[in-house]
Amino acid sequence: MTQFLDIVTFAGELFIVAIGLLLVFGILKIINLAHGAFLVVGSYATVVATRLNWDPWLALLVALAVGIALGALVERSVLRPIAARPLDTILATWGLNIVIVQLITLYFGRQMQFAKSAITGAVTLGGLTYSEYRLILLLIAVAVGAMVTVVMRTTQMGLIARAVIMNEELAQGLGINTRLVRFVTFCLGAGLASLAGALLTPLVSVHPLMGVPWLINAFMLVLVAGVSLGSLAVATLLLGGAQVLVSSYGNPVLGGLTIVILSVVILRFRTPA
Amino acid sequence: MTPAPELTAAGHLPRTVRWRGLAFALSGCTAAYLAGPFVLGTFGQQILSQAFFYAIVVVTVDLLWGHTGILTFGQSAFFGIGAYAIAITRAYYSSGIPVTALALIGAMVVAALVGIAVGWLSFWDRASPIYVAVVTLALPVVFTQVILSGHAFTGSSSGLPFPVPDISIEQWYWISGGLLLLIGAAAYVFVKSDAGRLLVAIRENEERCRYLGLKTSRIKTGLMAVCGAVAALAGACYAMFANVAAPAYGDFVFGTQLVVWTALGGRGTLIGPILGTVFINYVSAVLGGNFPFVWLLLVGLIFIVVVVYLPAGLAPPVFSGALRLGRIVADALGVARVRAVASEAPESIGRDRFSVVVRPEPAGTPVLHGGSQVALELRGVSKHYGSLRALEDVTFRAHRGEVVGIVGPNGAGKTTLLRCISDGRERSAGEVIINGARIGRLPPQDGVAFGLGRKFQAPSVFEALTVGDCLRVARSYRATPSFWRRSRALELPEAAQRTIEATGLAALIDEPAGTLPHGMKQALELAMVLALEPAVLLLDEPTAGLTSTERAAIGAVLTGLAQSHGLCILVIEHDLDFVRNISSRLVVLHLGRIVADGPVSQIVGSEVVRQVYVGGGTVT
């Protein structure tokens, strides 16, 4: 039972980290390697909030806002000029990752940081004690996923976003401001990454290089999932679950590779749609 | 923001500037290298030795990414494999020279095998170019985790120290620099050779390469294996130089750094990435010691600026700036001779004047007898997209020496038909038989061996290559290209030669294909396909965008080919007059089915055709 909770909560963590990357991949058709850095920014936002003695819940909103602002800046200054060269955006966003991580290192140093958690303690469910925060995190992940799904399915904005995913040129021809759609999506993606970082802070150690392993896992999951939120949920559950099982029954160091290796193999054998 | 004016449309320096800059750079580098130990202290030599080893790996990154377009984050893993192979061998087994040499060879073999595995995972047909980035991103992650889980045996996170041979820093300087010169020179000769040109062709247009019979996946996998082995060699030597093998040698951060250095130096120029690597590593050792984070931040910022505004890297503007400076200095000194050399050199060096040679007909040239042999047979060829039937039970035969026109309104399935003939995987059902051989489900690169040649609807050429080089790439299926020589003569079969003469392409043989007007690209692609010496030629609107004179000329070439060589030609055309002039027979497609098939005279005026084009609706 604990294992089951471990799997679903870990899948929730993966989902909330990957969802921003998936949105950006679906609509801008680029792989944003600065996603990990946005996550780090969100974590450090909560660190700052703790230092200022702010409420941890407020810190989440601050992280979201900082992420969105950063995304806006990056989209305008770096991504827009190279929109026509998708492979180069991989490089440019990696450069951004270097710059952001170095800026954080310069200011905060390389050591681990501490941030206050909104919820501490555990709940008891039918004789089983489990971390309350991890369960709340899972609920938040489900809520974010549901919210994005509802927006995509029912609103005008979601309709436009889906149109851009399917055929950007046609959407442009129909008078949709695809530039704006790309801009908004990227801001949102960055905001979600930052929010994910803030949410993960109580569970992980906060330091400037914390983003890379999350980035790599999220990158793999998004490529396996394609552009569907449903597939992303399934992928995080299956691959994240495999990782939890390998880590607990096998070797924890190799367990960290489960998602990467399984994704590469799945990508090789999946028939292209 | 536009790129620097020196760049051509494809983002490369014009030949002349590149060659001159290279000559300058090479002599300068070699002189600086030889002078190194007399100028630098031990510390400087040590830093440069390290940079030289890194630069060797960067050469492999530039071959893979800069020349062939394979974005790799994983060259560090191969470097790490080499380092650990030597470290483990010398630490636990023997530090004798023969065993070390054996370990070196073993490391290169293992790295090559890993390279083949990476190729197998990444380069399947229709794989997106992002997949190789995914796989090579995973590779160093896997590598470091494996090293970490080796605990004491691999030294885990602190690295594995081992007994090293007694080699002084100055000796290491000569070894590392000599190895870099050797490998850099070999890479240079290779990319300039006939075989090396294929790399750029793959980067520019992999699909066209496949349809020219080139097994691009195999070529890329081979390149990956060789580059992996070279990186392992550098890693093995580097570990002996550094007295230790550390996980950082093979990790993801180092892998991305290699790409950063390549991009900063100037991808696809070889010399740019080498100089960039040496420069960045030297400066970061000198300055970075005091301000490591500021220095890294600066590199990151410059990297972004270069990727966004100077995609060709810093080498081209630096070179052309140096040239201009050199010219100004020469002017000021009034050295007429230097000026003359500087302005004439490109004409003689850079210009790639080569002569077109008509290939003599081989002894076994098929001669047309009778004219009733079936060259191409389609049996029940169908193509379904879900419930949509794009092609339904298409069955017909085409004979040698026959020019069959395929006509039909838009959406009739004409292009789909050509695709289903040339790419076995596209067919939902049915069979294609060429000269009696079933081509089954084989991909296009294998279809060429049966004698298929296909020209695409939109002209598909190699934009960054010259007209002559495009034709050479097309010939490489017939004549295996050399890995070190660059041939001067271009040998073409008569048909291809006649096509380039008739359309005036012969005069543009040194022009980059990307700068040609639309019609010329059409003609070039046709000539490229004809250079394959196909038995069955599939043409999708071959003359769209050509002038009427050019059309007539190409029409004459095609009919001549069919008659003299027994070539079977399937041609899609909207220009009915053109079709009437060159075809002996028409096949009318409508809604994926053949609705009429017969001699031109019979079909053109028929009721069926009128109904298909004008009446619409269903034809029974």
pLDDT tens, position by position, A116-136: 777 777 777 777 778 888 888
Smallest CA-to-CA distance from A42 within A214, A228, A183 is with A214
> What integer pLDDT is reported at residue B563 of this predicted model?
84
With respect to residue A99, please indicate whether it lies within any of the assigned structural domains.
Answer: yes
Smallest CA-to-CA distance from B412 within B263, B266, B596 is with B596
For residues B538-566, average pLDDT: 82
Interface probe for A, chosen from B146, B301, B303, B304 (most Cβ of A below 10 Å), is: B304
Predicted confidence (pLDDT) at residue B342 exceeds the cutoff of 50: no
Whether the CB-CB separation of A106 and B294 falls below 8 Å is answered with yes
| Phi, psi angles (nearest 5°) of residue B253 | -65, -45
Cβ contacts (< 8 Å) between A268 and chain B: which residues?
Answer: 120-121, 124
ipTM summary value: 0.88
Q: Do the Cβ atoms of B297 and A253 come within 8 Å?
A: no
In percent, the amount of chain A with pLDDT more than 70 equals: 99
With respect to residue A239, please indicate whether it lies within any of the assigned structural domains.
Answer: no
> What integer pLDDT is reported at residue B19 of this predicted model?
59
| Phi, psi angles (nearest 5°) of residue B178 | -65, -40
Per-residue model confidence as pLDDT tens digits over A91-112? 899 999 999 999 999 898 888 8
Using CA atoms, how far apart are residues B396 and B376, in angstroms rounded to an integer? 8
With respect to residue A223, please indicate whether it lies within any of the assigned structural domains.
Answer: no
Per the structure block, which two tokens stand in for B561? 């080919």
Cβ contacts (< 8 Å) between A95 and chain B: which residues?
Answer: 260, 300-301, 303-304, 307
Nearest to B307 among A31, A92, A223 (CB): A92
For B205-334, where are the alpha helices, taking DSSP H only?
A: 206-211, 216-242, 252-265, 271-286, 292-309, 315-333
Q: Which of B242-246, B286-290, B454-458 has the highest mean pLDDT?
A: B242-246
pLDDT band per the 50, 70, 90 thresholds, residue B232: very high
Whether the CB-CB separation of B277 and B51 falls below 8 Å is answered with yes
In percent, the amount of chain B with pLDDT more than 90 equals: 25
Mean pLDDT score of chain B: 83
Residue type at B387 in one-letter notation: S
Per-residue model confidence as pLDDT tens digits over A8-67? 989 999 999 999 999 999 888 888 999 999 999 999 998 898 888 888 888 889 999 999
Q: Do the Cβ atoms of B307 and A253 come within 8 Å?
A: no
With respect to residue A267, please indicate whether it lies within any of the assigned structural domains.
Answer: no
| Phi, psi angles (nearest 5°) of residue B592 | 80, 0
Per the structure block, which two tokens stand in for B513? 């294909």
Q: Do the Cβ atoms of B293 and A268 come within 8 Å?
A: no
Smallest CA-to-CA distance from A47 within A182, A188, A233, A202 is with A202
Per the structure block, which two tokens stand in for B163? 């007994």
Structural domain that includes position A176: 2-208
With respect to residue A24, please indicate whether it lies within any of the assigned structural domains.
Answer: yes
Interface probe for B, chosen from A102, A209, A212 (most Cβ of B below 10 Å), is: A102
Predicted confidence (pLDDT) at residue B545 exceeds the cutoff of 50: yes
> What integer pLDDT is reported at residue B335 of this predicted model?
57
Within 10 angstroms of residue B264's Cβ, the number of other Cβ atoms is 25
With respect to residue A251, please indicate whether it lies within any of the assigned structural domains.
Answer: no
Whether the CB-CB separation of B354 and B491 falls below 8 Å is answered with no
Per-residue model confidence as pLDDT tens digits over B122-142? 888 777 788 888 889 889 989
Smallest CA-to-CA distance from B49 within B31, B37, B61 is with B37
Q: Do the Cβ atoms of A31 and B145 come within 8 Å?
A: no
Q: Do the Cβ atoms of A91 and B303 come within 8 Å?
A: yes
How many separate domains does chain A show? 1
Predicted confidence (pLDDT) at residue B352 exceeds the cutoff of 70: no
Burial B541-552, CB ≥16 within 10 A → b, else e = bbbbbbeeebbb
Instruction: Map out the domains of chain B with their CATH numbers.
Output: 1-38+314-351 (no CATH), 40-293 (1.10.3470), 374-458+537-615 (3.40.50.300)
**Range B442-451, long-range pairs (CB < 8 A, 24+ positions):** B443/B125, B443/B210, B444/B210, B444/B211, B445/B210, B445/B211, B445/B213, B445/B214, B445/B215, B445/B216, B447/B422, B447/B423, B448/B211, B448/B212, B448/B213, B448/B477, B448/B532, B448/B534, B449/B213, B450/B535, B450/B536, B451/B534, B451/B535, B451/B536
Q: Do the Cβ atoms of A99 and B300 come within 8 Å?
A: yes
Per-residue model confidence as pLDDT tens digits over B574-595? 777 788 888 888 888 888 888 8
With respect to residue A249, please indicate whether it lies within any of the assigned structural domains.
Answer: no
For residues B225-246, average pLDDT: 95
> What integer pLDDT is reported at residue B360 of this predicted model?
63
Mean pLDDT score of chain A: 87
Q: How far is B119 from chain A (nearest CA, A)?
A: 11
Predicted confidence (pLDDT) at residue A167 exceeds the cutoff of 70: yes
Predicted confidence (pLDDT) at residue B278 exceeds the cutoff of 60: yes
Calculate Rg over the CA atoms of chain A: 18
Using CA atoms, how far apart are residues B454 and B211, in angstroms rounded to an integer? 7
Using CA atoms, how far apart are residues A52 and A38, in angstroms rounded to an integer? 21
Nearest to A102 among B121, B134, B293 (CB): B293
Cβ contacts (< 8 Å) between B137 and chain A: which residues?
Answer: 216, 219
With respect to residue A66, please indicate whether it lies within any of the assigned structural domains.
Answer: yes
Predicted confidence (pLDDT) at residue B189 exceeds the cutoff of 70: yes
Cβ contacts (< 8 Å) between B131 and chain A: which residues?
Answer: 267
Nearest to B133 among A90, A92, A263 (CB): A90
Nearest to A87 among B71, B294, B301 (CB): B71
pLDDT band per the 50, 70, 90 thresholds, residue A227: confident
Predicted confidence (pLDDT) at residue B369 exceeds the cutoff of 90: no
pLDDT band per the 50, 70, 90 thresholds, residue B351: very low
pLDDT band per the 50, 70, 90 thresholds, residue B264: very high
> What integer pLDDT is reported at residue B496 of this predicted model?
86
Smallest CA-to-CA distance from B477 within B447, B438, B441 is with B447
Half-sphere exposure of B72 (CA within 13 A, CB side): 37
